Structures are given as structure tokens and as C-alpha cells.
Amino acid sequence: MDSITQLLLGGAVGGAVLGRRLGRKAVIGGAVLGTLPDLDVLIDYGDAVADYTYHRGFSHSLFVLAGLAALLATLAARLARWRGGHSAAISPGHWWLFFTLCLLTHPLLDAFTTYGTQLWWPLATPPVSWASIFIIDPLYTLPLLVATLFGLIGGRVVTASRLGLALSCAYLAFGLGAKTLMDHRLAPVLAERGLDAAPRLIQPTPFNTLLWRATIVDGEAYHETLIGLLDDAPPRLETFRRGATLEDAAQTTAAGARLTWFAGPYLRYASRELGGETTLVATDLRLGFPGYHPFSFTLARREGNDWQPVASQQLDAGSRGTQEALGQLARRALNQAPLCLGDHVAKRLTVEARSC
């Protein structure tokens, strides 16, 4: 999730655990801890793909953060006994609970998003992603914001924090339920087209949980559809080219193999003319939506009949038309207007002349 939401979540957790003893200090301390894992964005891992795929790595590991929480709890308990005052009465168990929950809720919340989180680092398992909430969702953040402000200004830290956490957790549960319903609606359509075993990803569209996007990988092609909670008609698939003939070439590069580990099969490949050279480019299909995928990376350049790896660079996705597309998605979420995703994609990427 975004850094503001993580700050508010940490503050609410801190207030709920130690607000009775520390008051507003518990909220402030929890907010600081809640933002700590994201400091890994300051690390330069060497190239664009490395920066992209190592984010939410060691700093989001449940193993690392649990160890850090135990260390901080021990130090805080000793410092509190030395200084005396109200904090001296806090048991080591409560210090441990404070630091553990403030730190571990950060990566666990991140795992609800599509980007994914390496919860089990240093194990080589792919990132965990439940893809049930967009990376920025005002309806999740608002209860935490109100709770934090009420606790800091009004002084009823514990009550406000716990209420904010209860409402935000209820919204997470709603998102998981909505995703299950979307999968249920999509399943008959996929079965009819023989795609019931194909890899598929269902995730919310930007800033809401009313409208969901499904991506289904089918060899050289991939299919997209929008499914709304308010829909009364079955989903309609639109089909696009995935550039799978370039997949083997991409896999021979370290960056391409790393991207596959990170994003799974949800990658599109293309050769583009960049700076007078033919360049192999991989695009993460999970993030953004058709026509507006923000994460595309150069992997190799053509030399004769071969592809030679290059230091990966992220291409500028541009923002032209994004605001209009977001408005169309918002209207589609309220079931007010049809939306054809193929209208936002370059014609060379579409398989059908008219997708919908």
C-alpha cells in the first residue's frame, strides 16, 4: 500500500496496543514503525529490473521483521526500566506485541495488493500476492485516518484506534469476498472457451473494489475483461497478443528470468526500435490496465541473429489519456457506461479487429 496508509496503519496498531499506557506517543511510535519497511526504496540494486523486483524483499520479510521486533522490544523494556515513569510498568510481552504488530502488519497489508511481497525472504519462493485491494484505496485508508486524528486530537487513543482497525479489516474482508464472487462469475466463461486451467489473475481496478479486472494467459495470447459487482451480464473477453515467441530470448537474460520469477506468466514481450537499436522489452501485465502498463523494461538488444543482454532500464509509460481512462473506469464501476479495453491498446497488440 501507499506510504501514508502504512503510516496510519502503524499508528492505529500502536494506539490499540499501548495507547492506554503511552497515549499519543504510542500512535506516533507506531506510525514510525509502520513506515520503516519501505525505506528499502532508498537502496540502488544496480538496474531497473533489480530495483523493481528486490523492493518489498528483505525489509518486508516476516523473519527479518520478527527478529527486529524482538530486539527492539528488549531494548525498549530495558530503557523503560532505566528511565522509570509510566513506561516502566509496561511488561516485556506488551513491548514485544507493540513492535511485532506495528512492523509485521506492514508487509501483510502489502501482500493484499497485486505487486506482491516477499514475506518468506530469504527463501526463494515467489512474492505473496492476494490481489484483493488496489495499492491506493481511500475506503481502506479513511477509517485509519479518522481514527488517528481522533486519537491524537481527542485523546481517546485506544477506542479510536481499535475502531479504525476494525473498519479497515472489515473492508479487507469485503475485498476478499468480492474477489471470490468475481472468480465465480468468470469461471463459466473460461470453461466455455477451454480456459478453465489457464493462469488467471483477478484484481480490483484503481481506487475501488466495485470493478475488477481479470487477466488470463493463453500461450501467444492473453485475455482481459472487466467484471463489476453491479453487472447483470456475463464477462466478455478481449484478446491481445503477448509476444510469446520472444519469451525464450527474454528468459536467457538474468533480468528476464528475474521478472518471470517475480511476475509469473503475466508478462508481455515486444521488440521495439529504441535509439536506433532493436530492443527486447518486457511489460508487467499485472499492474495498470491495457494501454497503461507503467512497468516496461529493456532486456536485450539485437545483434545479428542473436539477442545480447543489456543493463535493464524502465521505459517511460507516459500519462497521456490516463485521466480519461480512469474516468471511464469509474463510470464502468457504477455500471453507467460500457468500456472496451481494446480502444486503449495499440492496434498491433490486439488479436481481434474489434474486441467488443
Instruction: Give CA angle at 24 (21, 27), nearest 5°.
Output: 95
One-letter amino acid at 285 equals: L
Q: What is the pLDDT of residue 162?
A: 97
- Compute the distance between CA of residue 130 and CA of residue 104 in angstroms, rounded to an integer: 16
Give the pLDDT band of residue 51 (cuts 50, 70, 90).
very high
Average pLDDT value for residue range 186-206: 97
163 vs 97: CA distance, rounded Å: 19
Query: What 3-state DSSP class applies to 207?
Result: coil
Note the pLDDT tens digit of each residue in 203-240.
Answer: 999 999 999 999 999 999 999 999 999 998 899 999 99
CA-based nearest residue to 16, from 112, 97, 81, 111: 97
| DSSP per residue, 90-130 | S-HHHHHHHHHHHHHHHHHHHTTSSS-B-TTTTS-PPPB--
Q: What number is the average pLDDT over the span 75-86?
A: 83
Tens digits of per-residue pLDDT, 305-318?
899 999 999 998 87
Tens of pLDDT along 103-112? Answer: 999 999 999 9
> Cell 540494486, residue?
45
Q: How confident is the model at residue 347 (pLDDT cuts 50, 70, 90)?
A: low
Q: What confidence tens digit (pLDDT) does each residue in 83-103 have?
A: 776 666 889 999 999 999 999
Q: Is the dihedral of CA 152, 154, 157, 163 positive or negative?
A: negative
Sign of the alpha-carbon torsion through 261, 267, 271, 272: negative
Q: Average pLDDT for residues 152-173, to the nearest whole number?
A: 95
Alpha-carbon distance of 95 to 98, in angstroms, equals 5
| Over residues 44-48, mean pLDDT | 95
Q: How far apart are CA 130 and CA 35, in angstroms?
A: 21
Q: What is the mean pLDDT of residues 74-79?
A: 94
Secondary structure (3-state) at 292: strand
Report which residue type is found at 200: R
How does residue 323 score in pLDDT terms, banded at 50, 70 and 90? confident
Backbone angles phi, psi at 25, to 5 degrees: -60, -30
pLDDT given for residue 353 in this prediction: 47
Whether the predicted pLDDT of 30 surpasses 60 = yes
User: What's the predicted TM-score (pTM) here?
Assistant: 0.94
| DSSP type of residue 350 | B
Sign of the alpha-carbon dihedral angle for 241, 243, 247, 253 = negative
Q: Which of 109, 100, 31 is nearest to 63 (CA)?
A: 100
